[in-house]
Structure 1
Amino acid sequence: MKTACEIMRFVQFTRDGDQKLGLEIGDGKDLVDLNTWNSEIPTNLRSFVEGGDENLKIVRSLLDNNRKDIQNYTVPRDSVKIQAPITNPEKIVCIGMNYRDHCLEQNAPVPEEPVVFSKFPSCIIGPYDDLPYPKETKKLDWEVELAFIIGKEAKHVQIQHAMDYIFGFTVALDVSARDWQIGKNGGQVLLGKAMDGFCPLGPVVVTKEDINDVHNLGIRCKVNNVLKQNGNTNQLVHSSAAIVAHISRFITLKPGDVILTGTPPGVGFTRNPPEFLWPGDIVECEIDNIGKISNRVVL
């Protein structure tokens, strides 16, 4: 079993105004400043991923051969600002209706093929940033989701090879304006899903090799410390590999692209009566072995 220092948990942060790429280690109170440790390492995760396996080899070599030096390059977590682990992807692709039990709560059929929609890079905010409440909606809703980061260009990928194209996994909050997703805009969901700030991400990206079974993880969402969603990724209809294989039939996936895989049951609009977010609410999204994000809704 790997130690906490051997698991690759990438984090982006700023310190003294400088953009940094680091690793979360131990209990998460300290971060390794990779850029100070080795100036060849890019300062953002997208560039790091675009560099391919060579960058991973550099980091693994640092950890394997310079373990005694690691404390010289650590910084306290409370001395930095944690950013979203990916801030500038080319694409954010989302999968809807992808948990069997979420389909059941809506009395909806389980999709035979992934239901695909999109967000924009402007949707991304940090794991602890304020979540803006748009004046255009009165039905703001929560959806905790497992997300993954594409590691290399993917086009017409076969499902048996698809996991090779995934770099790692993170936590996402798929914020939804239900009044615009359902019943407005001619039935198109885009505006209800893609308003500014509608995709908090983080706090880390864990490489796929460092999660034993990504399709058997507890996944939860709390609002004001009240548990709203409590599921497991073993309820996914279409696996991460199936999603990559399907999307890459139509769209070339690029390194750094973010894919959201769907949400378990317990979202606000399916409740009786329906529940929605309001300014002042705090939304916490957590996935086992990855981490937790927390965002306050603000005007």
Structure 2
Amino acid sequence: MNSLLRLVTFETLSTGKRSIGALLDNGRHVVDFASANSKHTLPLDMRSFLNGGKKSMRMAVDIIGTGSGRISVDEVKICAPISDPQKIIAVGLNYKEHAIETKMAFPSEPVVFTKFTNAIIGPNDNIVKPTSSDQVDYEVELVIVIGRECHNVSESTALDYVAGYTVGNDVTARDWQFGKPGGQWSLSKSFNSFSPIGPAIVVNPQWAHLDTNTNSCELDPNNLSIKSTLNGRVMQQSNTKELIFNVQQVVSYLSKVVTLSPGDLIFTGTPYGVGFTRTPPIFLQPGDTISCSIEHLGTLTNKVVGQSNL
């Protein structure tokens, strides 16, 4: 899987300049698309890059092939790969064992809610526990990144519209989700910092359609091991093959209602092992470290701080 293309957004520590590029050499280096080759005029933000489609991809692969523009990963800060999606859509109760642990019925169609973009943070950024919640929970999730405008597509063609995948943590204030009048699914999951994503977008070769070894490996989003660890203790461990509605089904279903745009993010649901179902419940506290890992996509780690500590 080392030949899969891993797109990142990063800041150069010495200058604070933000750019986009690709992780290389098993994550030891970043190639800066902006500075690697003056002949290329790639955009400096990920949404615009994805909107460029096949043209952007070919230019990126050409830049990587030159071997120029490489920076040690120690000289940069890896940021959320996309900080300004038009939409963040999420699917609830999408693993059978998770539905069982929450004592909710298996859904006959995807259970859909939204999150707000202010919630996005990147790897090693802090999750802020708000003063208005004492029940902040973790949820490791596979996140779909849309690469092409997508409306009313079939399940058989859905992956053609998926740019790639990243790791997400659908952080949730359970006392808001279940304790507020009528339930507040979207608000409970949209506090500032409640949508960590990253470290990279691992490009879907089916979307790139490039005849290059850079994307020669297969990546099956519906067969990836997935887990979360809290302070080193494994809390969730499953595989995306346990999704009730797989990636193709989710993309097709959503596209029947709303036009999906390049850079849109879709959180696909979390497996068994969340904190509020445990006896006693386990909620995130200041000082905790939560890590979310998905096979071939990497690990997303964030510390928890209290709102009053900022």
Tell me, yes or no, whether TM beats 0.5: yes
Give me the whole-angstrom Cα distance separating, in 1, the residues matched to 2:186 and 2:62.
43
Asked if the contact 1:185–1:191 (Cα under 8 Å) also holds between the matched residues in 2, the reply is: no
The one-character-per-residue Cα deviations of 1:184-220 (angstroms, maximum 9, x if unpaired) are 1422312111111110000000011255221111101
Q: Does 1:160 align with 2:167?
A: no
Asked whether the equivalents of residues 131 and 297 of structure 1 are also in contact (C-alpha less than 8 Å), the reply is yes
Secondary structure at the aligned position of 1:180 is classed as: helix
Q: Secondary structure at the match of 2:249?
A: helix
TM-score normalized by the length of structure 1: 0.94
Is the aligned partner of 1:40 residue 2:36?
A: no
TM-score normalized by the length of structure 2? 0.91
Q: Kindly indicate whether residue 253 of structure 2 is the aligned counterpart of residue 246 of structure 1.
A: yes
Map residues 1-299 of structure 1 onto 2, 5 A cutoff.
Answer: 4=2, 6-15=3-12, 16-38=15-37, 39-63=40-64, 66=65, 69-70=66-67, 72-209=68-205, 210-299=217-306
Q: 1:109: Cα distance to partner?
A: 2.1
Amino acid of the structure 2 residue aligned with 1:161: T
Supply the distance in 2 between the matched residues of 1:79 and 1:140 (Cα, whole angstroms): 33
Partner amino acid, structure 1, of 2:250: I
Point out where structure 2 has 5 or more consecutive residues left out of the alignment.
206-216
Q: Which moved more, 1:205-214 or 1:72-81?
A: 205-214
Deviations 1:229-272 (A, max 9, x none): 01110100111111111111111111100000000000000111
| C-alpha separation in 2, matches of 1:216 and 1:206 | 15
Distance 1:135 1:206, change over 3 A: same
Check whether the contact 2:9–2:20 (CA below 8 A) recurs between aligned residues: yes
Q: What displacement does 1:154 show?
A: 1.1
The 1-side partners of 2:263 and 2:219 are apart by 22
Measured in 2, the distance between the counterparts of 1:208 and 1:7 equals 8
Structure 1, unmatched stretches of 5+, are: none
CA–CA separation in structure 1 for the residues paired with 2:296 and 2:118: 27
Equivalent-residue separation in structure 2 for 1:257 and 1:230 (angstroms):
26
Aligned to 2:179, the other structure's residue is in SS state coil
> Is 1:221–1:284's contact at 8 Å kept on the other side of the alignment?
yes
Matches of 2:98 and 2:248, distance apart in 1:
20
Equivalent pair of 2:121/2:197 in contact (CA under 8 Å): yes
Cα pair 2:123 2:196 within 8 Å, conserved: yes
**Is the Cα–Cα contact under 8 Å of residues 33 and 63 in structure 2 kept in the other structure?**
no
SS of the equivalent of 1:110 reads coil
Q: Tell whether the 8 Å contact from 1:218 to 1:232 is kept in structure 2 after alignment.
A: yes
